[in-house]
Amino acid sequence: MELRRLELAIPILGVAAILLAGLIGLPLAWLFRVSVAEPGGGGLTGANFVALVEDPELLQPLLLSLGVAFAVALACAAVAAPLAWLIARSDFPWKRAIRLLVLTSFVTPPFLGAIAWEILAAPNSGLLNQAYRLMLDLPRSEHAFNIYSVGGLVFVIATYTFPYVFILVVNGLERIPRELEEASAILGARRWATALKVTVPLGLPALLAGTLVAFLEAMNNFGAPAIIAIPAGLQTITTKIWTLFQFPPQPGLAAAAAVPLLAVTIVLLQVQQRLLGRRGYAVVGGKAGRPDIVPLGRWRLPALLFALGIVTISVLMPYAALVLSAFSRTLSVTLSPANLTIQHFTFVFAELSGTRQALSNSLILGVTTATAGTLLTLVIAYVVARRALPLWRWLGYLATAPIAIPSIVLGVGLFFAYTHPPFALYGTLAILFLAFLTIELPIGYQQFQAAFRSVHSDLEEAGRILGAGRLRTLADITAPLLWTAVVSTWCLVFVASIRELSAAILLFTVDTKVLSVLIYDLNESGDPGAIAVVGLLMLLITFAVIGIAYRLPRAGLQARPAASEEG
Amino acid sequence: MKYRAFRWSTLALALALGAPDTADAAMPAPTTITPELVKAATAEGKVVFYTSVELKLGEDLAKLFQEKYPGISVQVERTGSERVFQRIGQEYAASIHTVDVVNSSDAAHFLYWKEHGMLAPFLSAEMATEYPANAIDPDGTYGSWRVTLSPFAYNTKLVKEGEAPKSFADLLDPKWKGRLVKASPNYSGTIMTSTYETLQALGGWDFFEKLAKQDVLQTQSATEPPRKVATGERDVMVDGSEYFAYALMDQGNPLKIVYPAEGVPMITSPAAIMKEAPHPNAARLFYAFIFSAPVQQYMVEKGGTRSLDKEVKDRPDHVPLASLKLWPEDPKAMEAKAGEIKKKYRQLFGG
C-alpha cells in the first residue's frame, strides 16, 4: 500500500516542485536579466549597478533604507525583549490582553499605521500636537511630534514590526529547558540573578533572530516610507524602485535597485538560521513544563505602565485616530457633535466608483490565495515531515525561499516575467494571485511544519500498534489534529493577502485594484475621511477572519509566521 | 524629437502634393446627440473615465451623467495626471484597453497621445458652437475641458492679510520656513504645468532651489495644498488647484487666495476619447456631456473651475481672468522639458 501511494505521489510532487520552482524562479530570473540588459536589446551591461553606487539619487535612498532598518531593529529589540520577558517569565497580570493587543498590532498593515500616525502626529494638525498646544497653551509654531521625519518613519515602522521580535522572543523563552534555571536556583542564585545570568543569555539567539527579521521588514517596507518619507522630501530604496516605474519607466535601474535588497535579505536570513539552529522558526508547545515565574513585586506598576504604553501607541491611539477621522468633518482634538458626520461612509460606499471592485478583488484574491496556498503547503509539509519522497529536503527549501525575496522585489520580477508573452498575465487578477501566493507560501508551510511536528509520529505509531491501518490512523488521528492548522493557515494567508501592498502597487491595473492600493491612491489624492473609512473596512475584515482563527483550540498562531507580511 | 520629424515629413508631403490647408479638413463634422447614439451607449452600459479632477467633483459628474442616462454606469478612476499618463502607457503597452474618456491637466500628454494615434476625433454640435476655436484641437481629437490657475492661498486664521505673501519673492523670506506646502510635478499635471510656466517666467531654477530650503511640506496631488492649508497643517500654499480652493471656501474653510504679483500659472485640462475605447458610443455621450453648458456651469459653481464655454457664466466671486497677469501654456515646449523638470525637482524636493 505504501508503494502505491509513493508511485502516485511522485508525479504529483514533481508537478508541485516544478510549479514552485517556476513560481519563484521565473520572476527572479527576469529580474536579473533586466538588471543587466542593455537598453534597447542586445548585450549585457553593468551600468545599472554602477549607477546604483554612483548616482546620489539612487545611493542615498539605499543608505537611508539601511539606516532606518538598523534603527528600527534596535528600537524593536529595546521594546519587544522586555515585554516578551514580562509575558513569558513574570507574574504580569494581564498577559492575555497584552498578547491580544500585540497580535492586533501585528496584523495592522504598517501603511495603515502610518496613516493613523499622520492623523496623530502631523506637526500642525496632528491630534497629539493639538492637545499638546492646548494643554500647555503654546503658540502654533510649537509641536511635540513631527511625523514627517526620519525619526517619524523609524517610529512608525518599529511600532508595527516589534511584534515579530516579541513573538520570537516569547517562544524562545518558553523553549528554554526548566532544568537549567532550576539548576541555577539549586546552586543558590536568587530569582533575579537566574533571570539575568541564565534566562537572558539563553534567550539571546531568539532575540537576535527577531531583530534580524525586524531589520528585514523595515528595509523592505514600501507603504510606510511612501506615506511618511516622501512629504518630508526623503526617499527609501523601496519608494525609489516604485518611482523608477513611473513614466518613462527605467526597468533596468529598478531591477538593479532591487538586487541589494535581495542580497541583504538572503545573507541576514542565513545568519538567522544559524542563530536559531536547525529547528527553524516554528515553535509550538513542545515538552517544556510550566516556566519558572518571577514575581514582579514593586516592579509591577512600572511594568504595567510600560506594557500599556506600548499597546496604546501601537493600537489604541492609532485606531482611535482612524475612527475619529472616519466620523469627523474636520480633524479636531476638541470633539463636538456638530463635527460628527457619516458623509465619508456615504461617499466611500455609495459614490466612490472604485470601492465595490476593490473590495471584491481583495476578497476574491484572499479566498483563492488562501485556498490554493493552504493546499499547496499542506502537501509540501506532509512530504517533508514524513520524508515521503526523495529530495524532500529541497521541497522544504523551495517553500521557504520566498521569505528571502522582498515583496517589492517580487513585484518587480513578476512584472517583467508576466507582461510579455507567453505569460501575459498583466491586467488580470492572476498576476496578483501569483504574487500573493508566492509571498505567502512560507507562512503556510511553517504553520504546517509546526503542526506536523506536534502531531508526532508517536501518536500515529500508537494507532498503528493498536491495530489501525495507515489510512485509519490518518483519518482518526492525524487529520483531526491537522484540521485546526488548516483553518488557521487559511486565515493567516487570507489576512496576509488582504494587506499586501508592495507587490500589488506595481502589478495592479484599474480593474484589478485591491483595497490596499485603493487606500494608497486615496492617500495620494488626500481625502482623510475616506481613507480612514476604507482602512477601517480592511481592519474589520482582517479581525473577522483572525477572530475565527483565534477561537480554534490549539490555534497555530503561537507559531511564528515568518514571511514578509508587510505592506 | 519624433514629433518634429513627423511635422517636417507632413509639411514636405503637403508641399509636394499641394495639399489644401489641413486644419479645416481634419476637424470632424459636429455630431448631434441622437436617440440612436443614446441607445447604442446604453447597450454598452458603462463608460470608464480616467481623470485628474478632484475626486468628489469627478464622482458628482458621474452621478449627474447616470441620472441623465440611466443604464450607463460611470467608473471614475481618479489619480494625478502624471499617473494617469503612466497607467495608460503601461496598459496600452500590454494591450489592455480599459479607458474610454481621459482627462489630464498636463496638456503635453495630449500631444503625445495624438501623435501616437491613440485618440479618436469627435466634436459634439454643442462644442462646435459654444467653444472658441483655440479651445479645440484642430483635428478634433481633444478639447479644453476645464481651466484653472495655480495661485497662492493662506489660512486666514493663521496669517493676517497684511502678512500674507504677495509674490514669489516673498515666499523666500525665512519667516515662512516650515509654514509652506506645495504639490509635485511628478504626480500632478497641474503642478507640472505650473512649474514649467514658473521656470519660464522667473528665468530658471533659482527660485525653486531657494524654496527647497524652506522646509516645504511636499504633497502629491494639487488638491492637497488647499486642503492642508484649510486644516491648518501649513499656513500658505505655494501652488495648488485654484478650483479646489474655491470649493473648500464654499464649505466654510478659512482660506483666501492670493494671485502672485509676478504672474499666475494658468492650466488648461483637456479631455479626449480614446481610439481603442471599449465603449465608444458611451464614450462619445459622456464626452459630449462633460463639455455641455449645464455640466460646465455645475463645475464652475460647485467645483470652482473656469470654463471656456461661451454659454457659461463665471462665478461672481471668481477674479476675472482678464484682470490677472496669466502665464501662458506651451505644451510642445513643456513636453520636451518634462523629464528634466521632474528629475531636477526630485533632486531638490525629494518627491
Identity of the residue in B78, B86, B219 whose CB atom sits nearest the CB atom of A231: B219
Residue from the list A140, A353, A521 with its beta carbon closest to the beta carbon of B79 = A521
Cα distance between residue A43 and residue A66, in whole Å: 32
pLDDT value for B21: 42
The answer to whether residue B37 sits within a structural domain is yes
| Residue A105 to residue A90: CA distance in whole angstroms | 22
B276 plus B219 within the same structural domain: no
Residue B46, SS3 per DSSP? strand
Nearest Cα of chain A lies from the Cα of B126 at a distance, in angstroms, of: 28
- Whether A275 is in a domain gets the answer no
- pLDDT band, very low/low/confident/very high, at A452 (cuts 50, 70, 90): confident
Please indicate, yes or no, whether residues B136 and B169 belong to a single structural domain of this protein: no
Section A515-532 average pLDDT: 90
Q: The domain that contains A130 carries what CATH number?
A: 1.10.3720.10
Kindly calculate the radius of gyration of chain B based on its CA atoms and give it in whole angstroms.
21
Q: Which of A204-213, A270-279, A363-372, B105-114 has the lowest mean pLDDT?
A: A270-279
β-pair partners for B147: B268, B306
d(CA B283, CA B101): 6
The full DSSP string for A207-262 is HHHHHHHHHHHHHH--HHHHHHTGGGT---HHHHHHHTTSSSP-HHHHHHHHHHHH
Q: What integer pLDDT is reported at residue A471 of this predicted model?
A: 60
Grid coordinates of B292: 455641455
Element (H, E) at B144: strand B142-149
If one compares A112 and B90, the residue with the highest pLDDT of the two is A112
Q: Angle at the Cα of B270 (from B264 to B275), degrees rounded to 5?
A: 160
Residue B30 C-alpha, separation from nearest chain A C-alpha, in angstroms: 31
What is the CA angle A237-A239-A242, rounded to 5? 110
Confidence of residue A470 (pLDDT cuts 50, 70, 90): low
Classify residue B17: in a domain, yes or no: no
Question: Mutate which of B66, B90, B92, B286 to test chain A, going by most A C-beta atoms within 10 A?
Answer: B90
Q: Quick one: B170 and B234 in the same domain?
A: yes
A137 and A9 share a domain?
no
Distance in angstroms (rounded) separating the CA atoms of residues A68 and A215: 9
Task: Work out the pLDDT band at A292, boundaries 50, 70, 90.
Answer: low
pLDDT of residue B146: 95
| Residue B16 confidence (pLDDT) | 34
Grid cell 539606516 in the structure block, residue = A67
- Contact indicator for A446, A281 with CB cutoff of 8 Å: yes
Give domain status of residue A29, yes or no: yes
Q: Look at residue A100 and tell me if it is in a domain.
A: yes
Cell numbers placing B342 = 521632474
A136 φ/ψ sector (left φ>0, alpha ψ -120 to 50, else beta): alpha
Any domain includes A53: no
The predicted model gives A475-498 an average pLDDT of 82
Range name among A1-15, A491-505, B161-175, B206-220 with the lowest pLDDT average: A1-15
Share of chain B above pLDDT 70, in %: 93
Across A148-157, A208-217, A480-489, least confident range: A480-489
User: Are A346 and A323 found together in one domain?
Assistant: no
Is the per-residue pLDDT at B26 higher than 90? no
Backbone angles phi, psi at B45, to 5 degrees: 80, -10
Please, which pLDDT band fits residue B18 given cuts at 50, 70 and 90? very low
d(CA A531, CA B227): 14
B221 CB-near residues (< 8 Å, 6+ apart): A524, A525, A526, B80, B183, B187, B188
pLDDT in tens, A268-287: 888 877 776 654 433 333 45
How many Cβ atoms are within 10 Å of A409's Cβ, its own excluded?
Answer: 27
Average of pLDDT values for A313-324? 94
Stronger pLDDT, B207 or A12, i.e. the higher one: B207
From the number of C-beta atoms within 10 Å of its C-beta (0-12, 13-18, 19+), residue B178 rates as middle
User: Is residue B58 predicted with pLDDT exceeding 70?
Assistant: yes
The amino acid at residue A178 is R
Q: Are A269 and A216 in contact (CB under 8 A)?
A: yes
Are B158 and A247 inside 8 Å of each other by CB?
Answer: no
Name the average pLDDT for chain B. Answer: 90
Q: What is the pLDDT of residue A285?
A: 38
Q: Which of A141, A234, A353 sits opposite B74 (nearest CB)?
A: A353
- The CA–CA distances, whole Å, from A298 to A93, A250, A301, A304, A480 equal 13, 60, 7, 11, 46
Task: Give the Cα separation of B106 and B330 in Å (integer).
Answer: 10
B153 vs B166: CA distance, rounded Å: 10
- For residue A7, the model assigns a pLDDT of 56
Peptide linkage before A248 cis (omega within 30 of 0) = yes
Q: What is the pLDDT of residue B9?
A: 34
The number of beta carbons lying within 10 Å of the beta carbon of residue A471 is 10
For residue A261, which phi and psi values (nearest 5 degrees)? -60, -45
Please say whether the beta carbons of B272 and B215 come within 8 A.
no
Domain encompassing residue A191: 71-236+298-339
Q: What pLDDT score was predicted for residue A556?
A: 40
Cα–Cα distance between A378 and A396 in angstroms, integer?
11
Same domain, B49 and B127: yes
- Whether B40 is covered by a domain: the verdict is yes
Using the Cα atoms of residue A323, residue A324, residue A327 and residue A329 in order, give the sign of their dihedral.
negative
Which pLDDT value is given to residue B265?
A: 96
Q: Is residue B18 part of a domain?
A: no
Whether the pTM exceeds 0.95: the reply is no
Round to whole Å and give the CA distance between B71 and B61. Answer: 15
Residue B7 has pLDDT above 50, yes or no: no
* Amino acid B15: pLDDT: 39
The domain total for chain A is: 2
Q: pLDDT tier at B11 (50, 70, 90 boundaries)?
A: very low
Residue A94 is assigned to a structural domain of this protein: yes
Instruction: Give the C-alpha separation, A532 to A538, whole Å.
Output: 10
pLDDT of residue A156: 95
Asked if residue A175 is part of any domain, the answer here is: yes
CB contact under 8 A, B91 and A57: no
Task: Give dist(CA A541, CA B312) in Å, integer.
Answer: 47
Q: Give residue-wise pLDDT tens across range B310-320.
A: 999 999 999 99
B283 to B73, B141, B269: CA distances (angstroms) = 11, 13, 18
The CA distance from B200 to B202, in Å, is: 6
Cell numbers describing residue A381: 509539509
Together in a domain, A555 and A511: yes
- The CA distance from A191 to A197, in Å, is 10
Residue A139: closest CA among B179, B166, B182, B152:
B179
Tell me the β-bridge partners of B236: B154, B180
Same domain, B307 and B175: no
Q: If pLDDT is split at 50, 70 and 90, which confidence band does B8 have?
A: very low
Q: Which residues in chain B are closer than 8 Å to A352, comparing Cβ atoms?
A: 55, 59
**A209 compared with A77, residue with greater pLDDT:** A77
In B212-292, alpha helices (H) = 224-230, 242-250, 280-291
Query: HSE-up of A151 (CA within 13 Å, CB side)?
Result: 7
Q: Which residues of B touch A534 (CB under 8 A)?
A: none
Residues A543-552: what's their mean pLDDT?
A: 79
Of A322, A339, A356, the one marking the end of a domain is: A339
How many domains would you assign to chain B? 2
- Same domain for A231 and A357? no
Domain match, B51 and B99 both: yes
Quick check: A439 and A563 in contact, CB under 8 A? yes
Chain A residue whose CA is closest to B221? A525
Residue A536 has pLDDT above 90, yes or no: yes
Nearest by CB: A524 against B48, B79, B87: B79
Check whether residue A329 and residue A429 sit in a common domain: no
Chain B positions touching A524 (Cβ under 8 A) are: 79-80, 83, 187, 220-221
Nearest partner of A113 among A218, A204, A224, judged by Cα: A224
Parent domain of B112: 2-8+23-148+267-319
- Min CA distance, A233 vs chain B (Å)? 4
- Cβ proximity of A311 and A317 under 8 Å: no
Same domain, A323 and A400: no
A555 and A454 Cβ atoms separated by less than 8 Å: no
The mean-pLDDT minimum among A60-69, A319-328, A412-421, B234-243 falls in: A412-421
Given pLDDT bands bounded at 50, 70 and 90, which one contains residue A326?
very high
Choose from B54, B233, B235, B342 for mutation: most chain A CBs within 10 A: B233
Q: Are residues B50 and B116 in the same domain?
A: yes
Lowest mean pLDDT: which of A55-64, B57-66, B180-189, B285-294? A55-64
Residues A370 and A224 reside in one and the same domain: no
Chains A, B: CB contacts within 8 A come to 124
> How buried is A168 (Cβ within 10 angstroms: 0-12 exposed, 13-18 middle, 19+ buried)?
buried
Domain boundary among A339, A362, A390: A339
**Same domain as B256, residue B224:** yes
pLDDT at B17 over 50: no
Does residue A81 carry a pLDDT above 80?
yes
Q: What are the chain B neighbours of A506 within 8 Å (beta carbons)? A: none
- Strand pairing class (B180-182; B217-218): parallel
Mean residue pLDDT of chain A comes to 83
pLDDT at A560: 40
Residue A76 within any structural domain of the chain: yes
CA distance A226 to A431: 23
Same domain, B155 and B27: no
Instruction: Specify which residues B306 forms β-bridges with.
Output: B147
Q: Do B55 and A525 lie within an 8 Å CB cutoff?
A: yes
Using pLDDT thresholds of 50, 70 and 90, give the confidence band for residue B130.
Answer: very high
- Asked whether residue B273 is domain-assigned, the answer is yes
| DSSP-derived secondary structure for B86-155 | HHHHHHHHTT----SEEE-S-HHHHHHHHHTT-EE---BHHHHHHS-GGGB-TTSSEEEEEEEE--EEEE
Nearest to A150 by CA among A55, A218, A58: A218
* Chain A residue with minimum CA distance to B229: A125
Rounded mean pLDDT, B81-109: 91
Q: How confident is the model at residue A291 (pLDDT cuts 50, 70, 90)?
A: low
Chain B residues in contact with A530 (beta carbon < 8 A): 55
Confirm whether A562 is domain-assigned.
yes
Q: Tell whether B291 is covered by a domain.
A: yes
pLDDT bucket at A563, cuts 50 / 70 / 90 = very low
Number of residues that this document lists for chain A: 567
Amino acid of residue B313? K
Please indicate, yes or no, whether residues B210 and B340 belong to a single structural domain of this protein.
yes
Within-domain flag for B82: yes
The pLDDT score that the predictor gives to residue A567 is 41
pLDDT tens digits, one per residue of A381-390: 877 887 766 7
Pick from B100, B76, B99, B75: nearest CA to B87: B99
Q: How far apart are CA B112 and CA B85, in angstroms?
A: 10
Q: Domain with B259 in it: what CATH number?
A: 3.40.190.10
Asked whether the beta carbons of residue A353 and residue B76 sit closer than 8 angstroms, the reply is: yes
Strand partners, B312: none
pLDDT computed for residue B1 by the predictor: 40
Domain endpoint, select from A321, A339, A357: A339
Residue of B nearest to A525 (CA): B221
> Across the interface, which of A229, A331, A509 has its CB nearest the CB of B96?
A509
Q: Among A324-333, A530-539, B35-44, which stretch is predicted with the lowest mean pLDDT?
A: A324-333
Q: Does the pLDDT value for residue A148 go beyond 80?
A: yes
Please tell me which of the candidates B62, B98, B227 has its beta carbon nearest to residue A511.
B98
- Same domain assignment for residues A154 and A6: no
B276 and B305 assigned to the same domain: yes
Q: Is residue A382 domain-shared with residue A471, that is, in the same domain?
A: yes
Same domain, B64 and B206: no
Q: Are A222 and A501 in contact (CB under 8 A)?
A: yes
Within this chain, do residues A308 and A419 fall inside the same structural domain, yes or no? no
State whether A503 and A553 are in the same domain. yes
Are A226 and A324 in the same domain?
yes
